[in-house]
Structure 1
C-alpha cells in the first residue's frame, strides 16, 4: 500500500532535494554557482521560464538600421585570456580535471559527466529562475529523507533537516576557491558554447553566473521554522507525485527564484556558510577578468 502521508511523500522529494543541493555545492566549488535544493517542475531548458527577480542574461544592444554589422554584445565580466600553461579543456578531459579538484571518490559517487558543460550551464541559468529541473543536474541521485513537523499553524520544515546538508556544505568549503576558479577559466570555452546552444548566442555565461551569485547572496533571511504546505490539486485524477507539491506558505518566499528558495531551505546556519563561500568565489571571479 502506498503511503501518501506528508512525511512519506516528502521522502522521495528530498532524494531529488539532496541531489540538487549537491549539484550546486559542487557547481559552486567548480565555478561558484551556488547551493540548490528542492525543484518542483520540468520546463524545457531551451525555453527557460522567466521569474522575478531573476536577472536576464546580458543582451546585445540593437544595431542602427544603417549599420553594416550587428553591434557587439555588452560584456560586464569578461573571462581573462588563457595562460599558455593552461590551455582550454576538451570535453574528454573533464573527468580527469574534476577528479583532480574533487577527488576520485566524489566524482564517481556524485557526478554525471555526460554532457557536463550543458548540464552545468543549464543548472546555473535556472538557479535565477522559477524552476531548476533535476533532470538537467550534473550529478547522480542521492538518497535522503525530508522531514516536516506538524504544528498548530500547519506544517513546518523540521529543524533537524538542515543537519543532513552539513556534510555537503563542508565539501564546498574544503575546495580551494582559487583552484576552482582556475578550472572554471580553463572550462569556460566549453561553458560558453553550451550557453549559446541553450539559447543565448549574444550573451556571456560569465555575466549570468555572477548575476546568479549576486541573487543568491541577496536571499532574504527567514525566521525558523519555515512553514510549508501541499498545494491543492483539482481534478478527478489523483496526483502520482504528491511530494512535488510542497511550497512555502509565505507568498514572498514562494515568489523567490529556485536558487533563493534553496538558500532558505538548507537552514540558516548552512545558508550563512554557503554565502561566505559564494562571496569568496565571486571575489576571485572579479579579480580574474580583464576589461575589453
Structure 2
C-alpha cells in the first residue's frame, strides 16, 4: 500500500603619446638662412697687377676633381604605434541572459520547464555555499520541485521508499545528462567574476568561490551508495531513514539518496567530470 509524504526539497545545481626632437630642424634652418649681410664694410683695396695663372702640367691636369661634399643622409626613426586596447563588452548577468545561456547547453524545452526564472546567479552561490557546509537552502532552489509527492509503501509492518519516488527526479537527471561538462565549465568561467562578488557578500571575501564550489561537489560525491529497498519511518512530521548511518548524513546527502541509486550514480558521474575541470 502506497501513500504520499511531504515533498522533499530538491538541490541542484588603455594611448601612449610620443614626442619627437626638433634640434636638427633648428640647425638646418639657421644654416640655410645665413648670408653676408652681417659682414662689416671695408675700403676698396688698391688694384694689384694681374698675374697670369700658372699653366697646369699634364699630371696636374689629369688629377681628378673630387666630388662635391654631400649632406649626410639622416634616417628617420620608425615610430611604432602602440597596439589598440581591446575592451571586452560587459557580461550580461540579467536573469533572462543567464537562463538563456544555461538552456543553450541542454535540452531546451525540458530544461526550460525545470529551471527557475529569478536570481539565478545568487541562488547558485547560496546553494553552493550551503552545500559546502552540508546544509541546504530551501528558499534558494535553482530548480522547480517535482510535481509528484514522495511515496512509500508498507510491507511486513515496515515502511520503505517506493521506487516510484525515484522516478520523480529522472527528468532532472536526463536534462543534466544532455549538458556537456566542457560547456558548463566554460559558462561558469564566464560568470565567475560576478559569482566571486556575490559570494564575497555572504561568505569569506578572501576565499575564491571556485574553492567553495569544489567543496560542495566533493561533499555530494561522498554520499554512500545505498542498496534498495530503503527503510524509513515517520515521526509524524517527516520521514527519516531507519538506518542511523544514513540518518546521520547531511541533508544534501540524504536528498541525493532519495533520488534513487541509478539517478545518484548519473549525477555523481557528471559531478566528477566537472570537478576534474575546475
Find the counterpart in structure 2 of residue 246 from structure 1: 239
TM-score (normalised: structure 1): 0.62
Residue 110 (str. 1) matches residue 114 (str. 2): yes
Find the counterpart in structure 2 of residue 151 from structure 1: 155
Q: Of the candidates 258, 272, 279, which is equivalent to residue 251 of structure 2? A: 258
Find the counterpart in structure 1 of residue 54 from structure 2: none
Q: Of the candidates 174, 183, 187, which is equivalent to residue 183 of structure 1? A: 187
Q: Of the candidates 255, 265, 269, which is equivalent to residue 272 of structure 1? A: 265
Distance 1:257 1:154 in 2: 24
Gaps of 5+ in 2: 14-85
**Is the Cα–Cα contact under 8 Å of residues 2 and 153 in structure 2 kept in the other structure?**
no
- CA shift at 1:185, angstroms? 0.4
RMSD over equivalenced CA pairs, Å: 2.6
**Is the Cα–Cα contact under 8 Å of residues 129 and 258 in structure 1 kept in the other structure?**
no
Q: Of the candidates 100, 103, 112, which is equivalent to residue 99 of structure 1? A: 103
Find the counterpart in structure 1 of residue 91 from structure 2: 89
**Is the Cα–Cα contact under 8 Å of residues 89 and 190 in structure 1 kept in the other structure?**
no
Find the counterpart in structure 2 of residue 209 from structure 1: 213
- CA shift at 1:114, angstroms? 2.0
- CA shift at 1:281, angstroms? 1.0
Find the counterpart in structure 2 of residue 237 from structure 1: none
Find the counterpart in structure 1 of residue 167 from structure 2: 163
Distance 2:100 2:224 in 1: 38
Higher-RCO chain (CA-CA 8 Å, sequence separation at least 6): 1
After the TM superposition, which of the residue ranges 88-97 and 272-281 deviates more from structure 2?
A: 88-97
Q: Deviations over 1:180-203 (max 9, x none)?
A: 110000011121112111232222
Structure with bigger gyration radius: 2
Q: Deviations over 1:103-123 (max 9, x none)?
A: 553454222232211111111
Distance 1:210 1:106 in 2: 27
Q: Of the candidates 3, 8, 15, which is equivalent to residue 7 of structure 1? A: 3
**What is the number of residues matched between the two proteins?**
204
Partner SS, residue 147 of structure 1: strand
Distance 1:86 1:220 in 2: 45
Structure 2 CA distance for partners of 1:191 and 1:6, relative to 1, 3 Å: farther
TM-score (normalised: structure 2): 0.65
Partner SS, residue 156 of structure 1: strand
Partner SS, residue 168 of structure 2: helix
**Going by fraction, where is helix more abundant, 1 or 2?**
1
Distance 2:111 2:153 in 1: 34
- CA shift at 1:134, angstroms? 2.3
Q: Deviations over 1:13-44 (max 9, x none)?
A: 33x54xx25xx1xx2xxxxxxxxxxxxxxxxx
**Is the Cα–Cα contact under 8 Å of residues 127 and 257 in structure 1 kept in the other structure?**
no
Partner SS, residue 7 of structure 1: strand
Distance 1:264 1:107 in 2: 22
Distance 1:97 1:135 in 2: 23
After the TM superposition, which of the residue ranges 164-173 and 275-284 deviates more from structure 2?
A: 164-173
**Is the Cα–Cα contact under 8 Å of residues 126 and 258 in structure 1 kept in the other structure?**
no
- CA shift at 1:169, angstroms? 1.3
